[in-house]
Structure 1
Amino acid sequence: MGRVTKELIQLGRDIVSTTVSLFKIMIPVIILIKIADELGAVTLLGELLEPLMGILGLPSSMALVWATTMLTNLYAGLLVLINTDATLTVAQVTVLSSLLLISHGLPIEGMISKKAGVPMWAVLTLRIGGGVTFAWLQNVYYEYSAKNQHTAQILWQNEPVVGESYLQWAMGQAQSLFSIFLVIAVLITLLRLLKLLKIEQLMSLIMMPFLKILKVSKDAANLAVIGITLGLSYGGGLIINESKKGNLTAKDALITVLLLNLLHSIIEDTALVLLIGADLNMVLWARIVFSVCVMAIISHVHTLFSSRKEKQELHS
Structure 2
Amino acid sequence: MQPLDIKALPQQLRSHSLEILRVYWVLVKVMLPAILLVKLLDSFGATQWLSWLLSPLMELVGLPASIGLVWAAAILTNLYTAMVVFYELAGGESLSVAQVSVLGILILVAHSLPTEGAVAKLVGVRWRVTLMLRIGGALTLAALTHQIYSWGNWQQQPAIMLWQPEAQAESLAAWAIDQLWLFATIFLIISALMTLLRLLRWLGIEKLMHWLLSPLLRVLQVGREATHVTIIGITLGLSFGAGLLIAEARSGEISRRDMILTICFLGLAHSLIEDTLLILLLGADLYSILWGRLAFAIVVMAVIARCWRRTSVAESPSAERVLDQ
Fold match, TM over 0.5?
yes
Partner of 2:8: 3
1:271 pairs, out of 270, 277, 281, with 277
Secondary structure of 1:288's counterpart equals helix
Contact 1:79 1:160 in 2 (8 A): no
1:250 pairs, out of 253, 256, 262, with 256
1:136 pairs, out of 136, 143, 151, with 143
**How far is 1:11 from its partner?**
1.0
In structure 2, list runs of 5 or more residues that go unmatched.
1-5, 320-325
1:295 & 1:308 partners in 2: Cα distance?
A: 20
Partner of 1:105: 112
Contact 1:50 1:63 in 2 (8 A): yes
1:294 & 1:236 partners in 2: Cα distance?
A: 23
- TM-score normalised to the size of structure 2? 0.93
**How far is 1:236 from its partner?**
3.8
Deviates further, 44-53 or 2-11: 2-11
1:299 & 1:236 partners in 2: Cα distance?
A: 23
Contact 2:47 2:72 in 1 (8 A): yes
Note the 1:191-270 alignment, pairs <5 A. Answer: 191-270=197-276
Partner of 2:298: 292
Partner of 1:26: 31
Secondary structure of 1:50's counterpart equals helix
Contact 2:56 2:65 in 1 (8 A): yes
Secondary structure of 1:251's counterpart equals helix
2:174 & 2:245 partners in 1: Cα distance?
A: 33
Q: Does 1:177 align with 2:183?
A: yes
1:4 & 1:60 partners in 2: Cα distance?
A: 59
1:240 & 1:173 partners in 2: Cα distance?
A: 21
2:57 & 2:188 partners in 1: Cα distance?
A: 39
Partner of 2:322: none
Contact 2:47 2:69 in 1 (8 A): yes
Partner of 2:289: 283
**How far is 1:192 from its partner?**
0.9
Contact 2:24 2:190 in 1 (8 A): yes
1:79 pairs, out of 75, 84, 93, with 84
Contact 1:95 1:139 in 2 (8 A): yes
Paired residue type of 2:18: R
Contact 1:236 1:257 in 2 (8 A): no
**How far is 1:14 from its partner?**
1.6
Contact 1:207 1:221 in 2 (8 A): yes
Contact 2:61 2:142 in 1 (8 A): yes
Contact 1:229 1:266 in 2 (8 A): yes
Q: Does 1:308 align with 2:314?
A: yes
1:82 & 1:148 partners in 2: Cα distance?
A: 20
**How far is 1:312 from its partner?**
8.6
Give the fraction of aligned pairs with identical amino acids, expressed as a percent.
42
**How far is 1:230 from its partner?**
1.7
Superposition RMSD in Å: 1.6
1:60-106 per-position Cα deviation (integer Å, ceiling 9, x unaligned): 11100000100000110111000112110000000000111000000
- TM-score normalised to the size of structure 1? 0.95
Contact 1:54 1:60 in 2 (8 A): yes
Partner of 1:188: 194
Secondary structure of 1:207's counterpart equals helix
**How far is 1:3 from its partner?**
1.9
In structure 1, list runs of 5 or more residues that go unmatched.
none
1:220-271 per-position Cα deviation (integer Å, ceiling 9, x unaligned): 1122012112211244432321222211111121111111101111110110
Deviates further, 243-252 or 171-180: 243-252
Paired residue type of 2:81: A
Question: In structure 2, do the counterparts of structure 1 residues 158 and 208 end up closer, same or farther at CA, with 3 Å as the change threshold?
Answer: same
1:7 & 1:229 partners in 2: Cα distance?
A: 26
1:52 & 1:122 partners in 2: Cα distance?
A: 20
Paired residue type of 1:161: Q
Secondary structure of 1:83's counterpart equals helix
Contact 2:232 2:245 in 1 (8 A): no
Contact 2:58 2:68 in 1 (8 A): yes
1:161 pairs, out of 157, 168, 185, with 168
